[in-house]
Amino acid sequence: MAKEKVVLAYSGGLDTSIIIHWLIENYDYEVIAVCGDVGQGKETEGLEERAKKAGASKLYIADLKEEYVKDYIFPTLKAGAVYEGKYLLGTSHARPIIAKKLVEIAKKEGAVAICHGATGKGNDQVRFELTIKALAPELKIIAPWRVWDIKSREDAVDYAEKNGIEIPVTKKDLYSRDRNVWHISHEGMDLEDPWNEPQLDNLLKLTTPPEKAPDTPKYITVGFEKGEPVSIDGKNYSPLALVEELNKIGGEYGIGIADIVEDRLVGMKSRGVYETPGGTILYAAHDELEYLCLDRDTQAFKRQAAIKFAELVYDGKWFTPLREALSAFVDSTQQTVTGEVKLKLYKGHISPAGAKSKYSLYNEDIASFGDSHELYSHKDAEGFINLFGLPLKVRALMNEKNKNN
């Protein structure tokens, strides 16, 4: 009788390397490993050999990078969604697309369960499982970190050594990292104490420490069409190639390092360092273009919606009616967000250096201090202020009357 199948979200890292052996040992499943390639780079090299050596019957490597940028990163960028003012959601919006692929392969293979290596203290367990529930509610979900006896990454290393499992880390380098085309995150070890300054020289993978960045600034121009970035310095790029190029540029100039103590969905605070060089440039450029092209009321409401959008993405609620509705609203606002933004990059800082759009709402004739434009007269301001300030004047008269009585 054929064994039942389980699909494992496989990265080749410490956790998922030992999970293959653990699933076979405890469930007697046939393990099908799936790596969703969202830009891990060299981390995908040699995965098939390692997965099979650990006991998997096969490995799928799904190239999701272009889809990830186009359908997950760009919608979040257009929304202006930033979690708690700092986090550009690099891990958060990668999980739904990976989980979606897990579901597709589980259905193709006739698997009865999907397994992931997210810990019981983290957000990723929620992001994976909400996506699975939304797309394949019939599938069983296995989360080893919530049920096994392993309590720490040191324990996991011991388990691997005991069972002869090849792993890519040692006890001397146990930073928990997540890398994709958008960012790389660093957690654990000395970062667990918020008083410790991050040792950037040893920590960073994408970005030059700002003090070691070039001593002369760099100017770049980013072009947008309907809110989506399409060009750098007049040259058109595919979504993926554009992000990759901006990562190189931003990384060289020390852009996009964020040290964050964030509120996890599960109720605790955690500390991490995120590198998002290209993404930080894109958010800055997109903001500048919206200042030019969106009216005051739309901008104000969109900023409020951005907070909710970020929370939905962070909480793993990508495949929900509200997220989809907010994306529809955002797309409506972006119809005139077309143009170019010039930015100055210097030692970790981004300064706006100019913006232009054929949809610009800035009218120099009206905005100037002169009184030459027929649409605006200085005299009109008096009546406006009288009406706008009428409630304040009425209240002041009432207070004066009652004080005298």
Question: Are both 378 and 347 inside the same structural domain?
Answer: no
Q: Is 117 annotated as a binding residue?
A: yes
Among the residues of 294-389, which ranges form H helices?
296-314, 321-333, 364-367, 380-388
109 in any annotated domain: yes
CATH number at residue 24: 3.40.50.620
Confidence at 370, pLDDT banded by 50, 70, 90: low
Whether residue 75 has pLDDT greater than 60:
yes
Q: Is 124 annotated as a binding residue?
A: yes
Three-class SS state of 354: strand
> And the tokens for 334?
């972006």
Q: Is 87 annotated as a binding residue?
A: yes
Q: Is 383 annotated as a binding residue?
A: no
Q: Is 327 annotated as a binding residue?
A: no
Question: Are both 24 and 98 inside the same structural domain?
Answer: yes
Q: Beta strands of 133-268 (E only): which ranges?
A: 140-142, 176-179, 184-187, 218-225, 228-232, 235-236, 257-263
Q: Is 13 annotated as a binding residue?
A: yes
- pLDDT tens for residues 223-270? 999 999 999 999 999 999 999 999 999 999 999 999 999 999 989 999
Question: Are both 199 and 165 inside the same structural domain?
Answer: no
Tokens 């990759």 -> residue: 244
Cβ density class 21-55: b for 16+ within 10 Å, e for less: bbbbeeeebbbbbbbbbbbbeebeeebbebbeebb
328 in any annotated domain: no
- pLDDT tens for residues 207-232? 999 999 999 999 999 999 999 999 99
124 is catalytic: yes
Residue 218, strand partner residues: 345
Alpha-carbon span 62 to 98, nearest angstrom: 9
C-alpha dihedral, 117 to 178 to 38 to 97, nearest 10°: 50
- Is the CB of residue 359 less than 8 Å from the CB of residue 338? yes
178 in any annotated domain: no
Q: Look at residue 237 in the predicted model and tell me its pLDDT.
A: 98
Question: Tell me, what DSSP letter sits at residue 122?
Answer: S
Q: Look at residue 223 in the predicted model and tell me its pLDDT.
A: 98
Question: Are both 150 and 208 inside the same structural domain?
Answer: no
**Out of 37, 50, 95, 179, which one is annotated catalytic?**
95
Question: Are both 150 and 282 inside the same structural domain?
Answer: no
- pLDDT tens for residues 322-334? 999 999 999 999 9
Question: Are both 188 and 167 inside the same structural domain?
Answer: no
Question: Are both 278 and 257 inside the same structural domain?
Answer: yes
Q: Is 10 annotated as a binding residue?
A: yes
**Out of 37, 50, 153, 176, which one is annotated catalytic?**
176
Question: Are both 281 and 159 inside the same structural domain?
Answer: no
Question: Are both 387 and 247 inside the same structural domain?
Answer: no
314 in any annotated domain: no
Q: Is 17 annotated as a binding residue?
A: yes
**Out of 124, 153, 179, 271, which one is annotated catalytic?**
124
CATH number at residue 188: 3.90.1260.10
Over the chain, what is the mean pLDDT? 93
308 in any annotated domain: no
Question: Are both 196 and 342 inside the same structural domain?
Answer: yes
Q: Is 127 annotated as a binding residue?
A: yes
Q: What's the CA angle centered on 234, arms 229 and 235, to 5 degrees?
A: 80
Question: Tell me, what DSSP letter sits at residue 69?
Answer: I
71 in any annotated domain: no
Q: Is 360 annotated as a binding residue?
A: no
Q: How many domains, the chain?
A: 3
220 in any annotated domain: yes
Alpha-carbon span 178 to 190, nearest angstrom: 17
57 is catalytic: no
Question: Are both 237 and 98 inside the same structural domain?
Answer: no
15 is catalytic: yes
Q: Beta strands of 180-217 (E only): which ranges?
A: 184-187
Question: Are both 200 and 169 inside the same structural domain?
Answer: no
Q: Is 262 annotated as a binding residue?
A: yes
Q: What's the CA angle centered on 168, arms 24 and 40, to 5 degrees?
A: 95
Confidence at 169, pLDDT banded by 50, 70, 90: low
Q: Is 9 annotated as a binding residue?
A: yes
Higher pLDDT, 188 or 106: 106
Q: Is 15 annotated as a binding residue?
A: yes
Whether residue 170 has pLDDT greater than 70:
no
302 in any annotated domain: no
Does pTM surpass 0.85? yes
C-alpha dihedral, 64 to 222 to 81 to 43, nearest 10°: 30
Q: Which domain holds residue 381?
A: 373-399
Alpha-carbon span 199 to 189, nearest angstrom: 11
- pLDDT tens for residues 383-397? 999 999 999 999 999
Q: Look at residue 60 in the predicted model and tell me its pLDDT.
A: 97
DSSP-derived pairing of the beta strands 228-232 and 58-63:
unpaired
176 is catalytic: yes
- pLDDT tens for residues 94-143? 999 999 999 999 999 999 999 999 989 889 999 999 999 999 999 999 99
Q: Is 12 annotated as a binding residue?
A: yes
> And the tokens for 170?
């040692």
